[in-house]
Structure 1
Amino acid sequence: MATAEVTYLGELRTECKHVQSGTVIYTDAPIDNHGKGEKFSPTDLVATAYVSCMLSIIGIYCNERGYHFSKGKGSVTKIMESSPRRIGKLVINLDLRGNGWDAETAEKVVRAAKACPVAKSVEAGIEIELAIQLDGE
């Protein structure tokens, strides 16, 4: 079964439907690439997926080991390159404070996050700058 169905809507926009759930999102080309920038661009979704994947993997890792995880948020800044046009760098900030992990647990959790599937998929082609805030820092 397909993961997603994507339909071009015109004016550099697409409708993306997640086949399993039926959830729909829309994309728009960014202003600096002839779009209106009114929705996520496809490369915004790649950048966003990186942080979402890290937080999801932390959740899985903690659930499997009985670690508390209820506080986690992140932001990502995407830096594009022009020739060829592609994502050149992602600057990611994760705030994992408030989970009460000791230093050893925090180190293991961070290691798991850095090995998330999206990270492994883009590691050869995109520079990653990562800052993580933990309890006691």
Structure 2
Amino acid sequence: MATIEIIYQGTLRTQATHVQSGTKILTDAPIDNQGKGEAFSPTDLLAASLGSCMLTIMGIAAREHQINIENTTCAITKIMAASPRRVGELKVDLKFPEKYSDKQQKILEKAALTCPVYLSLHPDIKKSVNFNW
């Protein structure tokens, strides 16, 4: 069974449905690539996937080690490259709501940098990760 089903709705818009839950996401081409920019672009979703994955895997590690990371935030800046048009760099800025010991910081950093999305990205995509403790 498929994980995601996607329908092209015309005018450079798609609707993706998560089959198990029925949750839907719209995408639009960005304004700088002939689109409306009224929703996430497919490359925005790539960036969002990285941040969500890092936070999720840190959450698993935090739960295992009794570390509270609730309200941790992740801001991602996506930088496009040309020829061919692609994601050239993802700048990740993680901000934590409280202070952690050196050991806890190492646990959380390792978790973030070994999330499946981070490890799946092509090595040509520069990944700059800033941990704001």
Unmatched tracts of structure 1, length 5 or more: none
CA distance in 1, matches of 2:56, 2:27: 23
Q: 1:47 to 1:74 in 2, by over 3 A?
A: same
Displacement of 1:62 in angstroms is: 1.1
Deviations 1:27-53 (A, max 9, x none): 000011100111000000001110110
Deviates more, 1:58-67 or 1:23-32: 58-67
Question: Which residue of 2 is the match for residue 78 of structure 1?
Answer: 78
How many correspondences in the alignment? Answer: 133
Measure the CA separation in 1 of the matches of 2:38 and 2:106. 38
Query: Counterparts in 2 of 1:7-86, with a 5 A limit?
Result: 7-86=7-86
Decide which moves more: 12-21 or 69-78: 69-78
Deviation at 1:10, TM superposition (A): 0.1
Task: Please report how far the alpha carbon of residue 71 of structure 1 lies from its aligned counterpart in structure 2 after TM superposition.
Answer: 2.6
* Cα distance between partner residues in 2 of 1:6 and 1:48: 18
Greater shift, 81-90 or 63-72, is seen at 63-72
Using the aligned pairs only, state the percent identity.
Answer: 45
State the match for 1:121 in structure 2. Answer: 120
Normalised TM-score (structure 1): 0.92
Q: TM-score, normalised by structure 2?
A: 0.95
